[in-house]
Structure 1
């Protein structure tokens, strides 16, 4: 069985929820690819240009964080 990534979803700096790719996509009403896109450097550069972080969806891949050494 393939283990899905866990994502943390924020709207601006407000934490919304944690879930797998499928769970996040279902709760946000988007495709799985869109959830992954929200975590890419390309999307983050787009947000920087807009300069409006307060109303932006931000998705963080929890597997990329160094929580335990």
Structure 2
């Protein structure tokens, strides 16, 4: 299972979903689903855009965790 750290990253930078959507051109609904961790699929272009916008790696945005006990793999 993948855990998305978008809400944490946005919180640390005091950004709102509307700010990120406006600045990146990514659909607000897509950002909302990533923020709430309800997205089931994401375009690679969206991941690339978010990583560029926040100047982070993919590993900082997503983390693979075990479904059984939510521990890091």
TM-score (norm 2): 0.33
| Higher helix proportion (structure 1 or 2) | 2
| Higher strand proportion (structure 1 or 2) | 1
TM-score (norm 1): 0.34
